[in-house]
Amino acid sequence: MRSAQSLRAICSLLILSAGSAASGDADAAIENANHIFNVIHDSMRQWGSSLHHNGVSFFLATVPAGTQLYHGTSKSTPVNGTEWLAFEPEHAMVFARPHRGPPPRQPDEGDDDENDRGHRDELRRRQPHGPGNGPPGPLPHVEAVDENDSGYLHIYATTKDLRLVYIDGMSAAKTTKGTLDSQDVLLFNNTLDDSPKEGQRGPMGESERAKKACEMAENEWDGHIDGVLRMEAGFEIILCAFERGLTPLRITQVKSDSRARGQGGRTNDRHAGPREDDGKRKGPPHGGPGHGSSRWMRAVSARYGGIGGNRVSINYENFVTAFSHDLDLFPEDSPLPRLGHLPSSELDAVRKELTARILAQDATGSPRNWQAITDMIVTRYADELSYLVSGNFTDAKSLHDHIEILLSPFIDYSARNTSLETERCATQFLPLETQDSQLLAARAVHSVAHSVCSTLLAAWGEEELDSAVRTIQALIDHLDWTTWKECRGCEVNEICVVPIWPEGTVSDYENPQCREASNPYEGDGESYWGGMHH
Ligand SMILES: *[C@@H]1O[C@H](CO)[C@@H](O)[C@H](O)[C@H]1NC(C)=O
Ligand SMILES: *[C@@H]1O[C@H](CO)[C@@H](O)[C@H](O)[C@H]1NC(C)=O
Ligand SMILES: *[C@@H]1O[C@H](CO)[C@@H](O)[C@H](O)[C@H]1NC(C)=O
Ligand SMILES: *[C@@H]1O[C@H](CO)[C@@H](O)[C@H](O)[C@H]1NC(C)=O
Ligand SMILES: *[C@@H]1O[C@H](CO)[C@@H](O)[C@H](O)[C@H]1NC(C)=O
């Protein structure tokens, strides 16, 4: 029975590799099927992307026209040029604060870390005239003076479908743990200016990152892309040209925040994390980052399970991942993938594949939502697998009986046949026409479902309880679904706390717990993120 199964596995591998010319190496894709499955399942979710924070994948994403997006700034005039947009106002409000750069400079010149000098010049020029020949609809009420003690929340709506490259994982987190690898190493080929002045000037290279991404969008991607979509504590867009694709709805002055005053540090960092004195503190925070951050974290945790509202649609049939290439992504047993150790020639292939996909983007129907299919598999099996290893089965027979309950829909009791049963179980959630598909998503999902089903059958065949449980535990470790770290039953005033840069401890990562939402990161312990990225 065993050898028939492995023979079948080998055959299907051969069939798959024979049929797939397109994307990367077929063996690598099957080898990494568990990771690719998780890439799909974690995408656009604050929870899974916080735990699997090192993304090595790129998706084509669309934000539909009419979506409201938020920008926080010291300026009360609408933005032209490249800037950041958040999906949640609470995220943007962290940046809605007065500019407090080094005092001797002119207000405008002082803002060295603004990502787009040209945009600032434009702003200066246009200020006396208000928003100019702005977009249709009610113009926001704007103030001519904007460098005073106030911060402003800008609310924009998209006027067209924004075409974005979604860089997965926690790709807006300025860490040294690999969250930036897919940008700094893969997309930008280590050309980011990494000299010591970074950290003093740009907010940890963010202006340069935005500049480079937008240069790529314009040149390498031939204007097909409007910006990039990333995640930190909240999802955000770097939009290359606000004036193309947004209309301002409202610009409002936020409540001034005395807490942030008088620190003398760089508080104009546009994309620091919840703390304002980023770059200085190394250890875990004590007392948390204040009331603003509680507001922020509540909004962020509301999106643990997804950005919601179809505000982003991801093309799961046409994405690019280093996992489908034959690369050594886990050097020195790194728990999460890294790219920095790989020669640029190997990474070029991934970048070229991305460019090719962007340029070839065609409008053939609406792509299937493979994330929804991964959800069906995870929700069906996550608890069942946990239960099987929970220690509640005291003998092999009771364990076998439970596995039989799980698998009985796939068994023809008049003609037992393990390989048929495995395949029926593995294809339960696959739409018929995808079952022989060569699409990366289809192959990865099929392969993972097959592992779940064949492992259950194998455990059923084990006579010893211990070895059956070990077999299932090995599957759980291999699958590494982030669902298994979710808290259960938090109170209404609590959130489930996982490290989100720059907050959180090692134990928050290992074992996330429900915590008081007003002070989610008060726990003591070793910082998960270690030193800040400089
Ligand atoms: C900002 O962009 C709008 C729309 O393209 C344009 O009409 C306006 O002139 C720009 N403002 C400045 C100051 O360049
Ligand atoms: C900021 O400037 C605007 C425009 O002059 C003014 O209306 C507003 O009251 C100022 N805010 C503060 C806090 O001074
Ligand atoms: C990436 O950088 C390396 C080292 O500087 C260089 O040899 C290579 O040509 C670069 N690749 C591309 C595509 O620019
Ligand atoms: C395991 O059994 C104990 C005692 O019978 C029960 O309290 C517990 O809820 C069970 N755990 C699971 C995961 O079923
Ligand atoms: C199980 O079914 C497959 C496919 O129909 C067949 O090739 C194989 O011989 C069967 N195995 C057994 C043990 O009957």
Phi, psi for 366 (deg, rounded to 5): -100, 125
Backbone angles phi, psi at 493, to 5 degrees: -95, 15
Q: How far is the CA of 392 from the centre of ligand 4 (A)?
A: 6
Helix, strand and coil content of the chain, in percent to the nearest 5, comes to 40, 15, 50
Question: Rounded to an integer, what distance in angstroms lies between the CA atom of residue 225 and that of residue 237?
Answer: 12
Q: From atom 7 of ligand 4, which residue's Cα is the shortest distance away?
A: 392
Residue nearest to atom 3 of ligand 5 (CA): 420
Minimum CA distance residue for ligand 3 atom 4: 344
366: left (phi over 0), alpha (psi -120 to 50) or beta: beta
Q: Rounded CA gap, 444 and 58, in Å?
A: 16
Q: Distance, CA 189 to ligand 3 centroid (Å)?
A: 6
DSSP output for 509-529: HHS-EEEETTSTT---S-BSS
- Site of tokens 């109170």: 491
Q: Count CA within 13 A, CB hemisphere, residue 23.
A: 23
> Ligand 1 centre and the CA of 141: distance in Å?
17
What gap in Å lies between CA 445 and CA 428, rounded to an integer? 11
pLDDT of residue 1: 40
- The ligand that comes nearest to the alpha carbon of residue 11 is 5
Distance between CA atoms of 294 and 303, rounded to whole angstroms?
15
* 263-308 pLDDT tens trace: 333 333 343 333 333 333 322 232 334 445 788 899 999 999 999 9
- Supply the pLDDT for residue 97: 85
Where is mean pLDDT largest: 23-37, 38-52, 146-160, 433-447? 38-52
Q: CA–CA separation, 85 vs 79, rounded Å?
A: 11
Of 500, 499, 494, the closest CA to residue 515 belongs to 494
Report the DSSP pairing between strands 234-239 and 83-86.
antiparallel
Which one of 189, 191, 355 would you pick to mutate in the ligand 3 pocket, going by the greatest count of ligand atoms within 8 A of its CB? 189
Closest CA to 497 of 521, 480, 481, 518: 521
Pocket test for ligand 5, best of 420, 423, 424 (most atoms within 8 A of CB): 420
Residue 365: per-residue pLDDT: 66
Question: Does residue 194 carry a pLDDT above 90?
Answer: no
Position 196: which residue type? P
Mean pLDDT, range 164-175, rounded to an integer:
97
CA distance 530 to 29: 32
Q: Is 261 in the pocket of ligand 2 (CB under 6 A)?
A: no
HSE-CB for 418 with a 13 A CA cutoff: 17
Distance 466 CA to ligand 5 centre (A): 30
Residue pointed to by tokens 């097959």? 450
pLDDT of residue 101: 44
Residues in contact with ligand 1 (CB, 6 Å cut-off): 80, 122, 125-126, 132-133, 243
CA of 213 from ligand 3 middle (Å) equals 17
Please report where in the chains the tokens 């703390």 appear, as a residue: 275
C-alpha of residue 67 to centroid of ligand 1, in Å: 21
The dihedrals phi and psi of 413, each to the nearest 5 degrees, come to -70, -10
Q: Is the pLDDT of residue 196 over 80?
A: no
Helix (H, G, I), strand (E, B) or coil at 142: coil
Per-residue pLDDT for 248 more than 70? yes
Task: Please report how the helices 396-407 and 465-479 are oriented relative to each other, as an axis angle in degrees rounded to 10.
Answer: 50
Q: What ligand has the least distance to the C-alpha of 144?
A: 2
pLDDT level of residue 491 (50, 70, 90 thresholds): very high
Q: Which two tokens stand for residue 176?
A: 């040294």
**Closest-lying ligand 2 atom to the alpha carbon of residue 149:** 13
Name the least confident of 170-184, 225-239, 494-508, 513-527: 513-527
Residue 297 alpha carbon to ligand 5 centre in Å = 54
Cβ-contact 158, 71 below 8 angstroms:
no
Q: What tokens appear for 197 in the block?
A: 């002045």
Measure the CA–CA gap between 275 and 473, rounded to whole angstroms. Answer: 39
Confidence of residue 522 (pLDDT cuts 50, 70, 90): confident
* Best residue for ligand 2 mutational test, from 148, 251, 254, 255 (most atoms within 8 Å of Cβ): 148
Nearest CA to ligand 5 atom 14: 417
Q: DSSP state, 214? A: H
Q: How far apart are CA 122 and CA 134, in angstroms?
A: 14
**The pLDDT of residue 260 is above 70:** no
Phi/psi for 34 (5° steps) reads -60, -40
Residue 402: CB atoms within 10 A of its CB come to 17
Q: Indicate the residue type of 448.
A: V
Residue 200 Cα distances to 97, 113, 266, 316, 497, angstroms: 19, 9, 8, 39, 30
**pLDDT at site 109:** 32
Nearest CA to ligand 3 atom 2: 189
Residue nearest to atom 1 of ligand 2 (CA): 148
Ligand 4 nearest atom to the CA of residue 390, by list position: 13
Residue 430's closest CA among 453, 414, 408?
453
Question: Of all atoms in ligand 1, which is nearest to the CA of residue 122?
Answer: 13
* Calpha distance 297→224 (Å, rounded): 34
The whole-number average pLDDT for the span 174-193 is 94
Structure tokens at 203: 């907010």
Type of residue numbered 391: G
Q: What is the pLDDT of residue 19?
A: 34
Q: Is the CB of 145 inside a 6 Å radius of any atom of ligand 2? A: yes
Mean pLDDT of the chain: 82
- Poorest-confidence range of 95-104, 364-373, 413-422? 95-104
Ligand 4 center to residue 460 CA distance, Å?
A: 21
Element (H, E) at 384: helix 370-388
Write the CA distances from 432 to 314, 338, 445, 500, 514, integer angstroms.
22, 36, 13, 39, 41
358 close to 60: Cβ distance less than 8 angstroms: yes
Phi first, then psi, for residue 83 (nearest 5°) are -155, 180
256 lines ligand 5 (CB under 6 A): no
